[in-house]
Amino acid sequence: MRLSVNHITRYRYSEPTRRIIQLLRVTPSSFQGQTVLSWRIDVDCDARLREGRDGFGNVTHMLYVDQPVQALTLSVSGRVLTEDNAGIVRAVPGDLPHQVFLRETPLTAAGEALDWLAMDIADEGGARLDTLHGLNRRIYERMRFDVDATGVGTSAEDAFGAGHGVCQDFAHIFIAVARRLRIPARYISGHLFRRDGAHRQPAAHAWVEAFVDDLGWVAFDPTNGISTDDAYLRVACGFDYREAAPIVGARSGGGIEELAVEVAVHQARSQSQWQVQS
């Protein structure tokens, strides 16, 4: 599938800033099943961008704005060719040993409720892949999607106890249970082409990858109860949201901040149409 992405983040400040520093994880990598055709980052003021890679292999950019501004718009756009590999993810640049992703974090720590879920799933037995599909289905059936229920600091245990959350929470719950079962799992941020026609979205998407012997990394989307396919565009990974968040940063000055995010993911149905959209 040929996908085009436009990801716009707008900031407004009640007072002029003195300096802004941001870490951007908004640029995808090419690997088996995903080929980046073009990608760019635009900023609507004088700024410096420095590209690099972090310890997880993610493409990063440090953004520096050294002059006073009261508004900042960051526009990310690109074109990517994706393939449906039944969720299997291979040949990701800079990949770490899978055992690293057994590490628990505050956002993915399992408490009593998630421990019970892990034990219940373990009692079902079966192959690891079947266990992961069962976990994916359980979370999808148990949780209700609610954009107002949680925040970026909500833990997996708290979100599961509440019974609702956003894709970030669904992913954290999956990761917490998988690690309790001694299955390496990691958080993925990226974009999703909505086949239901909802091409404009208020934020990027999140899902997970879990390690299966003889297959390697396999991606699951507990928010939608499926494995990933060619509608998914992988951008960054980490232990949890904090290591894979699209934008994090700090500023001096600026007063009160207002933030607005718009994401549009479209499919190009033909080469000629693709060129028109670019």
Interval 127-155 mean pLDDT: 92
Tell me phi and psi for residue 213, to 5 degrees: -55, 140
Tokens of 10: 């707008």
**Ramachandran assignment for 139, one of left (phi > 0), alpha (psi -120 to 50 degrees), beta (any other):** alpha
Tokens of 205: 């998407």
Beta-strand runs (E) in the chain: 2-13, 17-27, 34-43, 48-53, 59-65, 71-82, 88-89, 144-145, 164-165, 185-192, 200-201, 205-212, 216-221, 226-227, 232-238, 247-253, 257-267
Tokens of 1: 């599938």
pLDDT mean across residues, the chain: 93
The torsion defined by the Cα of 46, 24, 61 and 201, in degrees rounded to 10, comes to: -80
Position 203 scores a pLDDT of: 85
pTM, whole model, 2 decimals?
0.93
Residues 6+ apart with CB under 8 A from 156: 107, 108, 109, 110, 114, 169, 172, 173, 175, 176
Kindly report, residue by residue over 180-218, the tens digit of the pLDDT. Answer: 999 999 999 999 999 888 778 878 999 999 999 999 999
pLDDT level of residue 269 (50, 70, 90 thresholds):
low
Residue 276 has pLDDT above 70, yes or no: no
Residue 273 has pLDDT above 80, yes or no: no
Residue 220 has pLDDT above 60, yes or no: yes
Position 258 scores a pLDDT of: 95
Position 199 scores a pLDDT of: 79
Provide the residue count of the chain. 278
Kindly report, residue by residue over 42-101, the tens digit of the pLDDT. Answer: 999 999 999 999 999 999 999 999 999 999 999 999 999 999 999 999 999 999 999 999
Kindly report, residue by residue over 232-259, the tens digit of the pLDDT. Answer: 999 999 999 999 999 999 999 999 999 9
Position 180 scores a pLDDT of: 96
Q: How far apart are the C-alpha atoms of 219 and 188, rounded to whole Å?
A: 9
